[in-house]
Amino acid sequence: MKKIDELNFPDDLNYSNDHEWARQEGEMVVVGISDYAQDQLGDIVFVELPEKGSKLAQGEEFGSVESVKAVSELFTPVSGEVAEINEALDDSPELVNTDPYTKGWMLKIKPDGNDMSAKLMDRNAYLAMLKG
Determine what percent of the chain falls in helix, strand and coil, rounding each to the nearest 5: 25, 35, 45
Domain containing 47: what range? 4-131
> Would you call 74 exposed, middle or buried from its count of C-beta atoms within 10 A (0-12, 13-18, 19+)?
buried
What pLDDT score was predicted for residue 113?
77
CATH number of the domain encompassing residue 31: 2.40.50.100
Which strands, in side-by-side order, build the sheet including 71-75?
44-48, 61-67, 71-75
Domain count of the chain?
1
pLDDT means over runs of 10, the chain (132 residues): 93 96 95 97 97 95 95 95 98 98 98 77 96 91
- The structure's pTM equals 0.94
Q: Which amino acid is at 127?
A: L
Secondary structure (3-state) at 37: helix
Secondary structure (3-state) at 105: coil
